[in-house]
Structure 1
């Protein structure tokens, strides 16, 4: 019975920490990409450098961290 409780507790905790970080960074990066598109469509040409860097770096970084977390989880299960 105690093993079933431990398995339930592990499943209830959700995604691994690295996956949560990856999802958060990817979401922030996508918001930056959306902001770049909206600002560009509004007619602004000189966008802040930090916004362009966030759109170009944070999004793929979050995707990479998410993929690494998936690979680590798959390897630990097999």
Structure 2
């Protein structure tokens, strides 16, 4: 039985592709949010629109993709 457990652990796939994309987008979005806060704290008033859009759109998009991947994974495990 121990060999079957080891083989199953080795053969287990990593994170789903959708989860990896969600984590990446969320990380990029959080960097954009951090940049906006730092620039605003430094006294800059006219922040780039693309940076504000990235902070406001990419972060929740990454979170949404990650949650969708988690739900899909949980449903797949439940169906097994």
TM-score (norm 2): 0.86
Give the structure with higher Rg (CA). 2
Is 1:32 equivalent to 2:46 in the alignment?
Answer: no
- 2:65 equivalent in structure 1: 65
- 1:45 equivalent in structure 2: 45
- Which ranges of structure 1 fall in alignment gaps of 5 or more residues? none
Please give the root-mean-square deviation of Cα atoms over the aligned residues, in Å.
Answer: 1.7
- 1:5 equivalent in structure 2: 7
- Which ranges of structure 2 fall in alignment gaps of 5 or more residues? none
Report the Cα distance in structure 1 between the residues aligned to 2:32 and 2:74, rounded to whole angstroms: 30
List 4+ stretches of structure 1 deviating above 6 A: none
Per the alignment, in what secondary structure is the counterpart of residue 44 of structure 2?
A: coil
Report the Cα distance in structure 2 between the residues aligned to 1:18 and 1:2, rounded to whole angstroms: 29
Q: What is the CA distance between 1:7 and its match in structure 2?
A: 4.8
